[in-house]
Amino acid sequence: MLPARSQFPDGFVFGAATSSYQIEGHGFGGAGRTHWDDFAETPGNVVRAETGARACDHYHRWPQDLDLIRDANLDAYRFSASWARVLPEGRGVPNPDGLDFYDRLVDGMLERGLKPALTLYHWELPSPLADLGGWRNRDIAGWFADYAEILCRRIGDRIWSAAPINEPWCVAWLSHFLGLHAPGLRDIRATARAMHHVLLAHGRAIQAMRALGMPNLGAVCNLEWADPADASPEAALAASRYDAIYNRWFLGGIFRGEYPEPALAGLLPHMPPGWQDDMATIATPVDWCGLNYYTRKLIGPDPSPWPHLAEVEGPLPKTQMGWEIYPQGLENFLLRTEAEYSRGLPIYITENGMASGEAPVVDETVDDPERTDYLSLHLAAARRAIDRGVNLQGYFIWSLLDNYEWSLGYEKRFGLVHVDFDGLKRTPKSSYHALKRALSRNG
Ligand code: FCB
């Protein structure tokens, strides 16, 4: 059962999260082409070659979607703006319809009593910027800061919180080293540059938003707990290398102005010249730290080139993604982040949730007890961390709606609300109803 709101400190913020490309319908409203459109149109990259062209048609159905958030008794909505919707070419002339859309959306949140939690970039890089090298090109930090300024001049006065970049690990490593997300590169030199430029862009955007007087600016990193696959010293070293690349690189850059040695050991020869001079910009002070958490990995050594890592299948129950359910990892990360990185700043869990397979709509709902269980276990871990002194101030569920799960297309369903991708009807699942009861203020 989900813990009641009253079991959390006063003012604790409960929210739901989504992202622009995954729900809006990128084909609507004059948005420019993105590297996700290019990636998806290349055979073999995305399940059934699906794109976000229509997605959940949130672009037209947003009033109904905001009603769903309010009616779940949630307090906040973490959404993202699409760079290519605001600036179809990535730079230059804004798309008036794009700015109007986010303006209306933010007003719609405020009218419903929801706190707008903005993310500036959740992965849909405008293709014209990809042509110029995208995250490999140092100039992206300036292009991104300009986009931040253009968008936030319009909506920044009504934003409750803002973070520049969702999950820099995914932007850099997953997309340039593992090749699993757009632009689908597998190249260590490109990776090193993306790992650095994504953080430089973060710092520059924080500065741009500060200059506009916006409050409550933060960073959102995804963390994955790494346990050694066995008791050998080699496995312990491999797990700590994985941890350095995945978790410590980004938190280290943003909160300490330094990169962890086990990751630098492999990336140093490929770093852009003068990178050390950027660390102060990267570590521009922020007001809070956001953690996205889903799972852990078992890591062992591998004879392949650096980083010499092998993932080993773990024994725990798994979600539809094949991800082990491991709430202890969330508690561990909250304690470690408080002690080593955020050091007293508010922490928010900015994403947590699970995918389950397609289940039938029966009697106007979908039964998903496994999602309620997953959320309960992770909220309990969050509660334990608070009891142990972590300054955790909120929790956002990924996701409001079933949506476009990137290279896995529409197959993986993360929503509290079921979406029928033929007619686009929304049907709240049993987890939605459980959440609504748990968050009720008078029950
Ligand atoms: C996170 C992403 C989000 C979604 C979930 C499942 O890494 O931020 O867009 O893909 O995972």
Give me the pLDDT at residue 443, please: 56
Residues 413, 357 contacting (CB under 8 angstroms): yes
Output the six-digit token pair for 49.
């070659």
Q: Is the CB of 124 under 6 A from ligand 1?
A: no
Per residue of the chain (443 residues), give pLDDT as tens. Answer: 899 999 999 999 999 999 999 999 999 999 999 999 999 999 999 999 999 999 999 999 999 999 999 999 999 999 999 999 999 999 999 999 999 999 999 999 999 999 999 999 999 999 999 999 999 999 999 999 999 999 999 999 999 999 999 999 999 999 999 999 999 999 999 999 999 999 999 999 999 999 999 999 999 999 999 999 999 999 999 999 999 999 999 999 999 999 999 999 999 999 999 999 999 999 999 999 999 999 999 999 999 999 999 999 999 999 999 999 999 999 999 999 999 999 999 999 999 999 998 899 999 999 999 999 999 999 999 999 999 999 999 999 999 999 999 999 999 999 999 999 999 999 999 999 999 999 998 75
Residues 122, 67 contacting (CB under 8 angstroms): no
Where would I find the H helices in 9-139?
20-23, 35-40, 58-71, 83-86, 96-111, 127-131
The domain locations on the chain are 5-438
Residue 72: phi and psi, rounded to 5, are -85, 5
Sign of the CA dihedral 45, 49, 51, 56? Answer: negative
442 alpha carbon – ligand 1 mean position (Å): 33
Counting Cβ atoms within 10 Å, is residue 241 exposed (0-12), middle (13-18) or buried (19+)? buried
Catalytic, out of 167, 331, 338, 405: 167
Residues 141, 200 contacting (CB under 8 angstroms): yes
Q: Which atom of ligand 1 is nearest to the CA of 321?
A: 6
Give me the pLDDT at residue 268, please: 98
The amino acid that residue 295 corresponds to is T
Residues 402, 386 contacting (CB under 8 angstroms): no
Sign of the CA dihedral 383, 384, 387, 392? Answer: negative
Q: Which atom of ligand 1 is nearest to the CA of 414?
A: 6
Q: Which residues pair with 426 in a beta bridge?
A: 419
50 is catalytic: no
167 is catalytic: yes
235 alpha carbon – ligand 1 mean position (Å): 28
Q: Is the CB of 406 under 6 A from ligand 1?
A: yes
CATH of 5-438, picked from 3.50.50.60, 3.20.20.10, 3.20.20.80, 1.10.246.90, is: 3.20.20.80
Where would I find the H helices in 112-248?
127-131, 140-155, 168-169, 175-176, 188-211, 233-243
pTM higher than 0.95 for the full model? yes
